[in-house]
Every structure is written in structure tokens, then in C-alpha cells.
Structure 1
Amino acid sequence: MFASLLLPMTPALVSAEGAPAMPLVVCQVDKAPQMLVPAYVCQWYGGSQHY
């Protein structure tokens, strides 16, 4: 479920040059698999960040 929430937002997070607009972190939310997402998304969902 968490990944399906992120998929629609992914294109908006990429700048015109194709580089990520935000720094990405490895995020762990509850029992979900770790995912590479922008730091603010991880914080929004209360996940733990791993660099």
C-alpha cells in the first residue's frame, strides 16, 4: 500500500534535468520493505531513515 501511494508522486519529484529534486534516503516504515524515497516522504509516514 505504501508503495502505491508513492508511485503517483515520483514524476513530480524529478527535476527537468532528470536528477532527483530531493535527497533520497532508504526508508523503513513498519513491516514494509525498505524503499528509496525522498527524506520528507519518509518523515511524513513516520519511517526510519537509513543513509
Structure 2
Amino acid sequence: MDHINLSQHSKNRKTYVTQLVDAGLLAMTIPDKPNDMRQRYVRTGKPTKS
């Protein structure tokens, strides 16, 4: 969220990040603990439709 200039507010995470995780475009680094304070997200390399 820092890269796209959004605050770390949970509403922003629900609105943007969760949709990208559900679509398979992002993956959690700690999937067993989604609310962990050390949680980060990485790109999956899944191609997007143009």
C-alpha cells in the first residue's frame, strides 16, 4: 500500500489488497496468519488481461 500511496487503514486493505489476493495477483507472505503485523504481500507473476 506504500507503493500506491495508500494509508495502512484496514478499509484500504479490504478494498484493494483483498481483491488482488482473491484474484491471485498477490500472495500473502504469512498465509496462516493474515492479520500478523509482519504480513507482507508479493506479486504472484500471474499475467493480467490486457
Q: Same fold (TM over 0.5)?
A: no
Q: Which has the higher contact order (CA 8 A, sep 6+)?
A: 1
Identify the structure with the greater helix proportion. 1
Q: TM-score, normalised by structure 1?
A: 0.31
